[in-house]
Structure 1
Protein backbone atom coordinates (compact mmCIF):
# COMPACT_ATOMS: atom_id res chain seq x y z
CA UNK A 1 0.00 0.00 0.00
CA UNK A 2 1.33 3.41 -0.91
CA UNK A 3 1.31 6.47 1.30
CA UNK A 4 -0.16 9.74 0.06
CA UNK A 5 2.17 12.63 -0.71
CA UNK A 6 0.58 14.52 2.18
CA UNK A 7 1.94 11.92 4.61
CA UNK A 8 5.35 13.59 4.23
CA UNK A 9 5.71 16.21 6.97
CA UNK A 10 5.02 19.79 5.82
CA UNK A 11 3.18 18.71 2.64
CA UNK A 12 -0.56 19.23 2.43
CA UNK A 13 -3.36 18.90 -0.10
CA UNK A 14 -2.18 21.72 -2.40
CA UNK A 15 1.29 20.19 -2.70
CA UNK A 16 -0.24 16.76 -3.20
CA UNK A 17 -2.35 18.15 -6.08
CA UNK A 18 0.71 19.80 -7.65
CA UNK A 19 2.64 16.53 -7.46
CA UNK A 20 -0.30 14.66 -9.01
CA UNK A 21 -0.26 17.13 -11.91
CA UNK A 22 3.43 16.29 -12.30
CA UNK A 23 2.67 12.55 -12.37
CA UNK A 24 3.85 11.82 -8.83
CA UNK A 25 1.19 10.14 -6.70
CA UNK A 26 2.87 8.75 -3.59
CA UNK A 27 5.26 9.61 -0.81
CA UNK A 28 7.36 6.62 -1.84
CA UNK A 29 7.92 8.09 -5.31
CA UNK A 30 9.15 11.36 -3.82
CA UNK A 31 11.38 9.53 -1.35
CA UNK A 32 12.88 7.43 -4.15
CA UNK A 33 13.49 10.47 -6.39
CA UNK A 34 14.76 12.77 -3.71
CA UNK A 35 13.79 16.37 -3.15
CA UNK A 36 15.71 17.87 -6.07
CA UNK A 37 14.34 15.55 -8.77
CA UNK A 38 10.82 15.74 -7.33
CA UNK A 39 10.91 19.54 -7.24
CA UNK A 40 12.26 19.63 -10.78
CA UNK A 41 9.28 17.57 -11.92
CA UNK A 42 6.96 20.08 -10.23
CA UNK A 43 8.56 22.92 -12.18
CA UNK A 44 8.43 20.95 -15.42
CA UNK A 45 4.70 20.46 -14.86
CA UNK A 46 4.16 24.19 -14.56
CA UNK A 47 4.37 24.89 -10.84
CA UNK A 48 5.93 28.34 -10.40
CA UNK A 49 9.31 28.19 -8.62
CA UNK A 50 9.32 29.25 -4.99
CA UNK A 51 12.30 28.75 -2.69
CA UNK A 52 10.23 28.07 0.43
CA UNK A 53 8.22 25.44 -1.46
CA UNK A 54 11.48 23.72 -2.35
CA UNK A 55 13.00 23.65 1.10
CA UNK A 56 9.70 22.58 2.66
CA UNK A 57 10.06 19.37 0.63
CA UNK A 58 13.70 18.95 1.65
CA UNK A 59 12.87 19.41 5.34
CA UNK A 60 9.82 17.15 5.10
CA UNK A 61 11.84 14.29 3.61
CA UNK A 62 14.18 14.64 6.57
CA UNK A 63 11.24 14.58 8.99
CA UNK A 64 11.98 18.14 10.08
CA UNK A 65 9.66 21.14 10.43
CA UNK A 66 9.78 23.47 7.41
CA UNK A 67 11.00 26.41 9.50
CA UNK A 68 14.00 24.44 10.75
CA UNK A 69 15.92 25.52 7.63
CA UNK A 70 18.35 28.30 8.57
CA UNK A 71 21.77 29.79 8.11
CA UNK A 72 24.38 27.96 6.09
CA UNK A 73 22.05 25.05 5.34
CA UNK A 74 19.50 27.46 3.88
CA UNK A 75 22.22 29.12 1.78
CA UNK A 76 23.31 25.71 0.39
CA UNK A 77 19.71 24.83 -0.42
CA UNK A 78 19.31 28.17 -2.22
CA UNK A 79 22.22 27.21 -4.51
CA UNK A 80 20.54 23.86 -5.27
CA UNK A 81 17.17 25.58 -5.85
CA UNK A 82 18.73 28.08 -8.26
CA UNK A 83 20.42 25.23 -10.16
CA UNK A 84 17.09 23.38 -10.51
CA UNK A 85 15.38 26.53 -11.79
CA UNK A 86 18.19 27.10 -14.29
CA UNK A 87 17.97 23.51 -15.61
CA UNK A 88 14.23 23.77 -16.12
CA UNK A 89 14.49 27.21 -17.73
CA UNK A 90 17.16 25.93 -20.14
CA UNK A 91 14.87 23.16 -21.44
CA UNK A 92 12.53 23.72 -24.32
CA UNK A 93 8.91 24.54 -23.50
CA UNK A 94 8.12 20.91 -24.34
CA UNK A 95 9.23 19.83 -20.85
CA UNK A 96 5.85 20.63 -19.28
CA UNK A 97 4.04 18.78 -22.07
CA UNK A 98 6.32 15.78 -21.61
CA UNK A 99 5.61 15.71 -17.85
CA UNK A 100 1.86 15.79 -18.50
CA UNK A 101 2.21 13.01 -21.08
CA UNK A 102 4.20 10.87 -18.64
CA UNK A 103 1.59 11.49 -15.95
CA UNK A 104 -1.15 10.36 -18.33
CA UNK A 105 0.80 7.19 -19.16
CA UNK A 106 1.11 6.47 -15.43
CA UNK A 107 -2.64 6.94 -14.90
CA UNK A 108 -3.68 4.59 -17.68
CA UNK A 109 -1.02 2.05 -16.79
CA UNK A 110 1.04 2.05 -19.99
CA UNK A 111 4.34 2.26 -18.14
CA UNK A 112 5.70 -0.13 -15.57
CA UNK A 113 5.44 0.93 -11.94
CA UNK A 114 8.49 2.77 -10.69
Structure 2
Protein backbone atom coordinates (compact mmCIF):
# COMPACT_ATOMS: atom_id res chain seq x y z
CA UNK A 1 0.00 0.00 0.00
CA UNK A 2 1.13 3.54 -0.69
CA UNK A 3 2.06 5.49 2.43
CA UNK A 4 3.87 8.61 3.48
CA UNK A 5 6.28 6.43 5.46
CA UNK A 6 7.71 4.98 2.27
CA UNK A 7 7.68 8.40 0.64
CA UNK A 8 4.60 7.79 -1.45
CA UNK A 9 5.80 4.82 -3.42
CA UNK A 10 3.54 1.96 -4.38
CA UNK A 11 3.10 2.79 -8.04
CA UNK A 12 6.71 2.21 -9.01
CA UNK A 13 7.15 5.97 -9.25
CA UNK A 14 9.53 8.29 -7.48
CA UNK A 15 8.60 8.99 -3.85
CA UNK A 16 6.90 12.33 -3.28
CA UNK A 17 9.41 13.10 -0.54
CA UNK A 18 12.20 13.11 -3.13
CA UNK A 19 10.93 16.55 -4.15
CA UNK A 20 12.49 19.37 -2.14
CA UNK A 21 10.11 20.76 0.53
CA UNK A 22 7.76 17.74 0.40
CA UNK A 23 7.88 16.09 3.82
CA UNK A 24 5.97 13.06 5.13
CA UNK A 25 2.88 15.00 6.19
CA UNK A 26 2.51 16.68 2.81
CA UNK A 27 3.18 13.37 1.05
CA UNK A 28 0.44 11.73 3.11
CA UNK A 29 -2.04 14.44 2.12
CA UNK A 30 -1.10 14.18 -1.54
CA UNK A 31 -1.55 10.41 -1.42
CA UNK A 32 -5.02 10.89 0.13
CA UNK A 33 -5.74 13.26 -2.75
CA UNK A 34 -4.88 10.53 -5.26
CA UNK A 35 -1.35 11.71 -6.10
CA UNK A 36 0.85 8.68 -5.37
CA UNK A 37 4.24 9.74 -6.71
CA UNK A 38 6.48 12.58 -7.86
CA UNK A 39 5.79 11.96 -11.55
CA UNK A 40 2.04 12.35 -11.06
CA UNK A 41 2.56 15.49 -9.00
CA UNK A 42 4.85 17.05 -11.60
CA UNK A 43 2.43 16.18 -14.42
CA UNK A 44 -0.46 17.84 -12.57
CA UNK A 45 1.41 20.93 -11.42
CA UNK A 46 0.99 22.69 -8.11
CA UNK A 47 -2.38 24.33 -8.75
CA UNK A 48 -4.17 21.20 -9.97
CA UNK A 49 -2.53 19.09 -7.26
CA UNK A 50 -3.83 21.49 -4.63
CA UNK A 51 -7.28 21.38 -6.22
CA UNK A 52 -7.21 17.62 -5.64
CA UNK A 53 -5.92 18.20 -2.09
CA UNK A 54 -8.93 20.38 -1.36
CA UNK A 55 -11.26 18.04 -3.25
CA UNK A 56 -10.17 15.23 -0.93
CA UNK A 57 -11.46 17.29 1.99
CA UNK A 58 -8.05 18.24 3.33
CA UNK A 59 -7.70 21.59 5.07
CA UNK A 60 -6.65 24.57 2.95
CA UNK A 61 -3.56 26.48 3.97
CA UNK A 62 -1.98 29.19 1.86
CA UNK A 63 1.58 28.43 2.94
CA UNK A 64 1.11 24.78 1.95
CA UNK A 65 -0.14 25.91 -1.45
CA UNK A 66 2.77 28.18 -2.25
CA UNK A 67 5.34 25.77 -0.79
CA UNK A 68 4.00 23.14 -3.19
CA UNK A 69 4.31 25.56 -6.12
CA UNK A 70 7.87 26.47 -5.07
CA UNK A 71 8.76 22.78 -4.61
CA UNK A 72 7.71 21.93 -8.15
CA UNK A 73 9.89 24.76 -9.43
CA UNK A 74 12.85 23.38 -7.47
CA UNK A 75 12.94 26.51 -5.33
CA UNK A 76 13.24 26.88 -1.55
CA UNK A 77 9.88 27.40 0.14
CA UNK A 78 10.92 30.87 1.31
CA UNK A 79 12.02 32.05 -2.15
CA UNK A 80 8.65 33.65 -2.84
CA UNK A 81 8.85 37.45 -3.20
CA UNK A 82 6.02 39.83 -2.26
CA UNK A 83 4.66 40.31 -5.79
CA UNK A 84 4.74 36.59 -6.57
CA UNK A 85 3.22 35.77 -3.18
CA UNK A 86 0.35 38.19 -3.87
CA UNK A 87 -0.30 36.50 -7.24
CA UNK A 88 -0.23 33.08 -5.61
CA UNK A 89 -2.59 34.31 -2.89
CA UNK A 90 -5.12 35.40 -5.53
CA UNK A 91 -4.85 32.00 -7.26
CA UNK A 92 -5.19 30.18 -3.91
CA UNK A 93 -8.26 32.19 -2.86
CA UNK A 94 -9.91 31.62 -6.24
CA UNK A 95 -9.18 27.89 -6.01
CA UNK A 96 -10.63 27.68 -2.50
CA UNK A 97 -13.80 29.47 -3.61
CA UNK A 98 -14.13 27.21 -6.64
CA UNK A 99 -13.70 24.00 -4.67
CA UNK A 100 -15.99 25.21 -1.91
CA UNK A 101 -18.80 25.45 -4.46
CA UNK A 102 -18.21 21.86 -5.62
CA UNK A 103 -20.65 19.30 -4.28
CA UNK A 104 -19.54 17.30 -1.24
CA UNK A 105 -19.19 13.67 -2.28
CA UNK A 106 -19.76 10.87 0.26
CA UNK A 107 -16.00 10.14 0.38
CA UNK A 108 -15.15 13.81 1.01
CA UNK A 109 -17.83 14.06 3.69
CA UNK A 110 -16.52 10.95 5.43
CA UNK A 111 -12.91 12.22 5.36
CA UNK A 112 -13.93 15.65 6.67
CA UNK A 113 -15.86 13.97 9.52
CA UNK A 114 -12.86 11.78 10.38
CA UNK A 115 -10.47 14.74 10.43
CA UNK A 116 -12.94 16.74 12.54
CA UNK A 117 -13.25 13.99 15.15
CA UNK A 118 -9.50 13.36 15.21
CA UNK A 119 -8.93 17.04 15.94
CA UNK A 120 -11.46 16.96 18.79
CA UNK A 121 -9.98 13.78 20.28
CA UNK A 122 -6.49 15.25 20.02
CA UNK A 123 -7.61 18.49 21.68
CA UNK A 124 -8.99 16.65 24.72
CA UNK A 125 -5.96 14.37 24.91
CA UNK A 126 -7.51 11.06 23.87
CA UNK A 127 -5.25 10.57 20.85
CA UNK A 128 -1.79 11.76 20.01
CA UNK A 129 -1.16 13.25 16.57
CA UNK A 130 1.60 11.66 14.47
CA UNK A 131 5.06 12.92 15.35
CA UNK A 132 6.80 15.10 12.79
CA UNK A 133 10.51 15.21 12.19
CA UNK A 134 12.11 18.54 12.87
CA UNK A 135 12.91 20.33 9.62
CA UNK A 136 10.93 17.89 7.48
CA UNK A 137 9.66 20.71 5.26
CA UNK A 138 6.06 20.61 6.45
> What TM-score comes out, normalization by structure 2 length?
0.67
**Higher RCO, 1 vs 2 (CA within 8 Å, ≥6 residues apart):** 1
**Paired residues for 1:34-113 under 5 Å:** 34-94=45-105, 97=108
RMSD (Å) for aligned C-alpha atoms: 1.8
- The alignment covers a number of residue pairs equal to 99
**Paired residues for 1:13-32 under 5 Å:** 13-32=24-43
Bigger share in helix: 1
Structure 1: runs of 5+ lacking an equivalent: 101-114
SS at match of 2:78: helix
Structure 2: runs of 5+ lacking an equivalent: 1-11, 112-138
- Displacement after TM superposition at 1:96 (Å): 5.1
- Displacement after TM superposition at 1:68 (Å): 0.6
Runs of 4+ in 1 over 3 A off after TM superposition: none
The residue aligned with 1:106 is none
